[in-house]
Amino acid sequence: MLLTLSVATFAAETTIGLNRCIVFNDTTDSYAPSKIGLSFILPDTLMGKEIIYAELKGKLSVHNNGLDSLFELRFYPFNAEWREGVYGYQNIDVITDSMTAGVYTIRLGDSSAFNVDVTSFVREIALRERSNFGLIGTADLLGDSNIRLPDALGERLRDIIKLRVIYK
C-alpha cells in the first residue's frame, strides 16, 4: 500500500503584513512608471527554517482601456535601508539590487489579484545570507503606457499586500 502525504502535513504556514509601503513617482516625467517600495519583518520564528515557498499576494486595481493588456509586477531587493525623503524616484536605483526577486504577469481582463513568488529572497533572509531591507517593485502595462499610481496609495497597499510563507 502506497501512502502519500502532502507537503502541508509536514509544513507550517504564516502570513505577514507589510510594515511599510511607499509609492515613488517621477516628478519630472508624468509618463514614467511608479515604483513601489515595501518592507516586512520576518519573525524570529522563521530564522533558520527551511522556506518551502514564499509569495507576495494582494490585489492591485488598474484601470486601463484594454482588458487584453498584460500587467507585469517586477520586484527587486533593496541593498540598503531606504527612507522617504532621503531616497526618491530619481536616486532609489543606487540601493536597488539588479537581480529580480520575483515577477508576475497577468492579463488585466482576468483578474487584478497577484501572487509573486519571492521564495529565494525570503529563503536568503531566513538563512541570514541576505539582510532584509525590503523590495522595490515596478508596475508596467506591457505594450501600453506605463502605470502611474497615486502617491497616497502606499498606505492602502500596505494593508492589502501580504507575504505568505510556507516553511518547516
Supply 21's cell numbers.
509601503
Q: Is 25 exposed, middle or buried (0-12, 13-18, 19+ CB in 10 A)?
A: middle
Residue 156 forms part of a structural domain: yes
3-55 pLDDT per residue, tens: 444 555 678 999 999 999 998 999 898 888 889 899 999 999 999 999 999 99
Whether residue 14 is contained in a domain is answered as no
Residue 10 lies in a domain: no
* Domain extent at residue 124: 29-167
- Rounded distance, CA 4 to CA 44, Å? 32
Query: In the prediction, which pLDDT does 128 show?
Result: 96
* pTM value surpassing 0.95: no
- The structural domain count of the chain equals 1
Q: Supply the pLDDT for residue 10.
A: 78
Share of the chain above pLDDT 90, in %: 45
Give the per-residue pLDDT at 48.
95
Q: What is the pLDDT of residues 94-111, one digit of tens each?
A: 999 888 888 877 766 656
Does residue 13 lie within any of the structural domains? no
19 falls within a domain: no
Q: What is the DSSP string of the chain?
A: ------GGGT-EEEEEE-SEEEEE--SS-TTSPPEEEEE----GGGTTS-EEEEEEEEE-----S-TT-EEEEEEEEBSS---BTTB-TTTGGGGB-SS-SEEEEEETTT-SEEEEE-HHHHHHHHTTSS----EEEEEEEETSPPP---TTHHHHHHHH-EEEEEE-
